[in-house]
Amino acid sequence: MDAGQPSDPGTDPSRWSRIATGLLGILVSPSVLMLASFITLRALVVEARFIPSGSMLPALQLQDRLLVDKLSYRFRPPERGDIVVFHSPYRFAPIGYNVSDPFWGQCTLVALPGLAQVFRHPKCDAYIKRVVALPGERVVVDPLGQVWINGERLREPYVDHNCDNVERLCRLLSAQVPPGHVLVLGDNRPNSQDGRFWGFLPMEQVIGRAWLRFWPPETSGPLPPADGAG
């Protein structure tokens, strides 16, 4: 090649070096690292959630902000009384059979700050309820919303709202909890779309355990245990 002839830019090693350096600079930029850290932390360890409805009154109020522990259930199954956050039953229960699936990545976009309402989809929602019955147990929910486990009444100090008149009788349930599932109910029995309507919750659909309220400040702190709530 003549000394005065320019080199082919496609084979110029310095050009590719500059491109690689530029890409590396983008990948290690503070904004990209912060976003990656947020996604990783949210996916594996802990995430924040807010309460959009009154289904868990009085233990959880509307607009309460909670931290959801995503590590505990890697080492143990949910226990009775736990408040759990889980994927929408539209994903796994018959109520979702006629609902179209979200597009690829939509549920990830919903999880990012500021995008929840833009990309909202029923199968991307998360629900929050309380575990009341465990695998293998025979459970009955009577017209008042009271729970009976293997023939014995379950003590539920966290329930202030029962279905206590003819107009507001609760939906009945009488069944055995299948293996690998739990029954979850809302504490506000007359106003909760829970396992009485769409069935038992598969444990693999559980996102994590709600354990800490961080907003509002006056009620912040660990959530009370089931035997002391209400």
Q: Which residues are identified as catalytic?
A: 55, 129
The encoded tokens of residue 84 equal 């759990």
At residue 165, the 3 state secondary structure works out as: coil
Q: Rounded to whole angstroms, how far apart are CA atoms 43 and 95?
A: 26
Distance in angstroms (rounded) separating the CA atoms of residues 139 and 200: 11
Nearest 5°: phi and psi at 138? -90, 120
DSSP code at position 152? E
Q: Is 155 exposed, middle or buried (0-12, 13-18, 19+ CB in 10 A)?
A: exposed
Cα 35 versus chain centre, distance = 20
CA distance 72 to 58: 25
Of 202, 158, 183, 164, residue with least CA distance to 55: 158
